[in-house]
């Protein structure tokens, strides 16, 4: 861990200053790691704690910090500080708009072709489905956070409501996926409104903590209401989706038999892939359409200035509630899809970490940029998969990446936006100029 100097501090130059900084950093690292890494404790078989020392590891870590801070300092002096441009320069802007115009369709076409290209690679298909699920969740949360500027730390609650709605309705009543999908969305939207009511008067961080508490309440109720939800054991045996009533299995009634082709388990995966792609695209399309409708305009106005909104006669109550309900509905759809894909759901899938992950995707995507959210989901989930082998280091690296990305690009990957409403011509602006709302 290196300690970057601040902007206000005078830039240190010369070898002695460099070594001094590195030395101080190494000293701090030595104290930090001395006990936590240097002494390893473990409970013995009789409950007695024992410990052994690991000074080699501490020395290695301190050396890494020493070397790392020298490299960081040299890099900083070499690159120098870059001034932030508020208005994107025309050349860059035309380049971005060129890429922007063709990147999204190109990505879409590529995504449509993924099952064709990677037909034999089950792993890649599964990963693609996972990425698309998070793209959909990101787009759903984007309505609440990116458009309406309401900070929601409990989004996973709606994902859970959707998943459990489908899981319980399907296992208890045998209802099909296509009936339950809208129901899951409606139920999640209902819970969204239910959450929306108490938080109407809250602002900023009060809103954040209440949504977080709401997410935890839903999870704790799921864990403890054992009669209904099966508690920590979860709901298993959730039916797989059918191709609009035709099952995707090896029977005579199955789709493969009806089409007269040989059955393969991959059919179902490909079907699931296109299902989540369709759901995600519906989310995207609805969001884009809503942005052009009065309610969408009201969301963005609410994000920019709530007082001005009121003064202009916008009903902030209904505006906030529709934002919560719309976002929650998409979360519910994604949850129902998650349940049918996994066939098994348990409260472990709906922890705060998931909420944080989806929020990170939205913020990293640039808050409000649809393409940015998709790219961020790809980067986050893809990057997450790279560390699958290193199970316990995975979240460590994920957390570090989150911190570093925030320091590097606090405004997300796609740091500019085309305004929804403009006077004569649309000019992309840096998202530094876009407010994030105060709840």
Partner 1 sequence: MDYFAQQLINGLVLGSIYGLIAIGYTMVYGIVGMINFAHGDVFMIGGFIALITFLILISLGLTAIPLILLVVLLVSMAITALYGWTIERIAYRPLRHSFRLAPMLSAIGMSFVLTNYSQVAQGARVKPIPPFITGGYTLHESQDGFVIQLSNIQIMVVITTIVLLAIFTWLVSRTRLGRDMRACEQDQTMAALLGVDVDRTISMTFVIGAALAAVAGLMYLLYYGLVDFFMGFVAGIKAFTAAVLGGIGSLPGAMLGGLAIGLIETFWSAYFSVEYKDVAAFSILIVVLIFMPTGLLGRPEVEKV
Which residues are at the interface with partner 1 (CB under 8 A)? 1-4, 6, 8, 28, 31-32, 34-37, 39-43, 47, 49, 51, 151, 198, 201-206, 208-210, 212-214, 216-217, 220-221, 223-224, 306-308, 352-353, 356, 359-360, 363, 367, 392-393, 395-396, 398-403, 406-407, 410-411, 432, 436, 438
Nearer to partner 1, 180 or 357 (CB): 357
What would the two tokens of residue 34 be? Answer: 């001395």
Whole-angstrom distance, CA of residue 114 vs CA of residue 280: 15
- Minimal distance, residue 238 CB to partner 1, in Å: 25
The length of the chain is 439
8-state DSSP, 348:
G
Nearer to partner 1, 395 or 426 (CB): 395
- Minimal distance, residue 8 CB to partner 1, in Å: 7
- Minimal distance, residue 308 CB to partner 1, in Å: 7
The DSSP code sequence of 197-255 is TTTTT--HHHHHHHHHHHHHHHHHHHHH-HHHH-GGG-EE-PPPP-BTTB--SSSTTSH
Nearer to partner 1, 214 or 333 (CB): 214
Strand partners, 117: none
- Minimal distance, residue 356 CB to partner 1, in Å: 5
- Minimal distance, residue 250 CB to partner 1, in Å: 41
Chain centre distance of CA 320? 21
Nearer to partner 1, 49 or 75 (CB): 49
Nearer to partner 1, 51 or 98 (CB): 51
Phi then psi dihedrals of residue 248, to 5 deg: -100, 65
Are 136 and 279 in contact by the 8 Å Cβ rule? The answer is yes
- Minimal distance, residue 357 CB to partner 1, in Å: 10
Print burial letters for 233-259: b (CB count within 10 Å at least 16), e (below 16): ebbeebbebbeeeebbbeeeebbbbee
- Closest by alpha carbon to 377, among 392, 359, 396? 359
- Minimal distance, residue 37 CB to partner 1, in Å: 5
What would the two tokens of residue 232 be? Answer: 């920590």
Nearer to partner 1, 179 or 400 (CB): 400
Nearer to partner 1, 81 or 424 (CB): 81
Strand partners, 53: 39
Residues 6+ apart with CB under 8 A from 250: 256, 263
> What's the CA dihedral at 173, 176, 178, 182 to 10 degrees?
10
- Closest by alpha carbon to 321, among 297, 342, 295, 357? 295
Whole-angstrom distance, CA of residue 281 vs CA of residue 136: 8
CA distances from 101 to 94, 142, 205, 304 (A): 10, 21, 37, 27
Nearer to partner 1, 27 or 418 (CB): 27
- Coil vs helix vs strand at 298: helix
- Minimal distance, residue 204 CB to partner 1, in Å: 8
Nearer to partner 1, 72 or 428 (CB): 72
- Minimal distance, residue 202 CB to partner 1, in Å: 6
- Minimal distance, residue 128 CB to partner 1, in Å: 25
Whole-angstrom distance, CA of residue 315 vs CA of residue 369: 25
Nearer to partner 1, 27 or 288 (CB): 27
- Minimal distance, residue 212 CB to partner 1, in Å: 7
Any long-range contacts for 213-218 (C-beta under 8 Å, 24+ apart)?
213/154, 214/154, 214/157, 215/153, 215/154, 215/155, 215/156, 215/157, 215/350, 215/352, 215/355, 216/154, 216/352, 217/157, 218/154, 218/157, 218/160, 218/161, 218/191, 218/350
Nearer to partner 1, 201 or 289 (CB): 201
């Amino acid at each position: 861990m290196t300690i970057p100097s601040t902007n206000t501090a005078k830039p240190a130059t010369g070898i002695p200053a460099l070594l001094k900084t590195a030395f101080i950093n190494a000293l701090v690292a030595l104290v930090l790691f001395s006990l936590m890494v240097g002494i390893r404790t473990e409970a013995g078989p009789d409950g007695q704690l024992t410990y052994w020392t690991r000074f080699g590891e501490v020395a290695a870590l301190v050396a890494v910090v020493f070397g790392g801070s020298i490299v960081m300092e040299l890099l900083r002096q070499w690159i120098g500080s870059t001034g932030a441009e508020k208005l994107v320069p025309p050349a860059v802007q035309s380049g971005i708009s060129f890429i922007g115009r063709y990147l999204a369709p190109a990505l879409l076409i590529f995504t449509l072709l993924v099952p064709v290209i990677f037909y034999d690679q089950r792993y890649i298909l599964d990963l693609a489905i996972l990425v698309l699920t998070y793209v959909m969740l990101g787009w759903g949360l984007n309505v609440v956070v990116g458009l309406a500027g309401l900070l929601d730390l409990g989004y996973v609650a709606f994902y859970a409501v959707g998943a459990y709605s489908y899981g319980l309705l399907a296992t208890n009543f045998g209802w099909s996926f296509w009936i339950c999908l809208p129901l899951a969305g409606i139920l999640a939207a209902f819970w969204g409104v239910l959450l929306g009511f108490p938080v109407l008067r809250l602002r900023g961080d009060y809103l954040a903590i209440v949504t977080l508490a709401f997410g935890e309440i839903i999870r704790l109720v799921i864990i403890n209401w054992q009669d209904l939800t099966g508690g920590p054991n979860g709901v298993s045996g959730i039916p797989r989706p059918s191709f609009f009533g035709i099952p995707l299995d090896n029977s005579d009634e199955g789709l493969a038999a009806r089409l007269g082709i040989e059955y393969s388990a991959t059919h179902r995966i490909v079907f699931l892939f296109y299902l989540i792609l369709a759901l995600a695209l519906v989310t995207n399309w609805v969001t884009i359409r809503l942005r052009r409708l009065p309610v969408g305009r009201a969301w963005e106005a609410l994000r920019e200035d709530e007082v001005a909104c009121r003064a202009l006669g916008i009903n902030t109550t209904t505006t906030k509630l529709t934002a919560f309900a719309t976002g929650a509905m998409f979360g519910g759809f994604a949850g129902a899809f998650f349940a049918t894909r996994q066939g098994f759901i348990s409260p472990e899938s709906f922890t705060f970490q998931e909420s944080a992950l989806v929020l990170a995707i939205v913020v990293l995507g640039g808050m409000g940029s649809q393409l940015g959210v998709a790219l961020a989901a790809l980067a986050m989930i893809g990057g997450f998969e790279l560390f699958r082998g290193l199970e316990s280091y995975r979240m460590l690296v994920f957390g570090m990446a989150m911190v570093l990305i925030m320091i590097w690009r606090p405004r997300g990957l796609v740091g500019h936006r085309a305004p929804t409403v403009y006077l004569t011509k649309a000019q992309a602006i840096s998202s530094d100029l876009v407010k994030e709302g105060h709840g």
